[in-house]
Amino acid sequence: MSPEEIDDECLPSVSVVVSSFNQRLILQCLVPQLLAEKYPKEKLEIIIVDGGSKDGTRDWLSTFHYPCLNSLLENERRSRAALRNHGIRAATNDLLIMLDGDHTIETDFIHQHVARHRECECVVLGESQFSNHWRFRALNRYLNTRGVRKVPCGKPIPGRYFRTGNCSVPRSILERIGLFDETFTSWGGEDLDFGVRLEEAGIAIVYEPRAKAWHHHHRSLNDLLRNLRTYGEKSVPRLVEKHPQLYRELNLHELEKPWIHFLMQAPFYHFIRLMTHFLLPLHISPIVFDYLHLRQYGVGFLHSREKRGK
């Protein structure tokens, strides 16, 4: 059913939860976009959860005085899981749309999420595309084809592809499987854990490309690789502990192969990383980025296992 076919009287009440840290410049675009959405304002609640930003976000949000806008301003930086849970607990409506504060949205964004929820009980993944930037062209092209976009049309979406940057969840599902696990305090992990819990509970994850958002946080290749190393060392062990099947689903079993072990060594990795860095404005095979991803979180995971004596 298209948004145009839904009578306003039949629309559910929606809470949009935006989690943010030092993203004032993007929020200055996103918040007006949300307020301009042609969704009945009496059925819309916008919650901005800010985790102790130092870029003037607090002062800027204080200039808005709309009944549907609620700003939750933290005094210190908190994990992404904690910020989202804070917003969820403050929300009053039965359908929650979650957005990261480094996104902007296309028109009818809210309607497109709502329309998919009328079809079945599910969690909806909207489209999140990195905006164009010449310096990161190859990396962004790769990231824009990962995750849910690899799943053939009509096939079930695995829980490991769930991401919170642009998604919507009925409160009834949150009450069934719980909120985000706040023991994930480092980069990454809390959304994958949530997705696996959805899968284990038999809850469908559906993809709605028309609920489109643009991702404006462009990380350098080195920043991304540092994050992946931290993810492998801090988050992946916790993920595998909670969900043992992820050992294979994250291809960690491949690290046991001798030739893969050779490719993980520092000289080979640094050569590939350096060549990739210079070619970023051009075209790079996805296989190269697949290698860099696995190498970084794989080495982080192995390092964590060695420290724990396992």
pLDDT level of residue 4 (50, 70, 90 thresholds): low
Q: Which of 215, 243, 265 is the last residue of a domain?
A: 215
Q: Give me the mean pLDDT over the 219-233 stretch.
A: 93
pLDDT for the residue numbered 3? 55
Q: Which of 183, 215, 247 is the last residue of a domain?
A: 215
Choice between 22 and 4, residue whose per-residue pLDDT is larger: 22
One domain for residues 49 and 118: yes
pLDDT for the residue numbered 259? 86
| 45 backbone φψ class: left, alpha, beta (φ>0; ψ -120 to 50) | beta
One domain for residues 227 and 176: no
One domain for residues 76 and 225: no
Q: Give me the mean pLDDT over the 175-191 stretch.
A: 94
One domain for residues 46 and 152: yes
Q: Give pTM, 2 decimals.
A: 0.91
Percent of the chain at pLDDT exceeding 70: 97
One domain for residues 208 and 241: no
One domain for residues 205 and 240: no
Beta bridge partners of 71: 48
Look-up: residue for tokens 């310096």?
135
Domain range spanning residue 200? 3-215
> What CATH number is attached to the domain comprising 19?
3.90.550.10
Structural Rg of the chain based on CA atoms? 20
Number of separate domains in the chain: 2
One domain for residues 16 and 116: yes
pLDDT for the residue numbered 250? 95
Let me know: does 97 contact 171? Beta carbons within 8 Å: no
pLDDT for the residue numbered 261? 82
Angle ∠(213,219,224) on CA atoms, nearest 5: 115
One domain for residues 136 and 69: yes
Per-residue pLDDT at 241 exceeds 90: yes
Amino acid (one-letter) located at 82: A
One domain for residues 199 and 58: yes
Chain segment 248-286, per-residue pLDDT in tens: 999 999 988 888 888 899 999 999 999 998 887 778 899
Q: Which of 166, 196, 215 is the last residue of a domain?
A: 215
Per-residue pLDDT at 5 exceeds 70: no
CB atoms under 10 Å from CB of 170, counted, come to 18
| 174 backbone φψ class: left, alpha, beta (φ>0; ψ -120 to 50) | alpha
Structure token pair of residue 208: 């709605």
Q: Give me the mean pLDDT over the 175-201 stretch.
A: 95
One domain for residues 84 and 233: no
One domain for residues 48 and 119: yes
One domain for residues 102 and 176: yes
Average of per-residue pLDDT values in the chain: 91
Per-residue pLDDT at 63 exceeds 90: no
pLDDT level of residue 74 (50, 70, 90 thresholds): confident
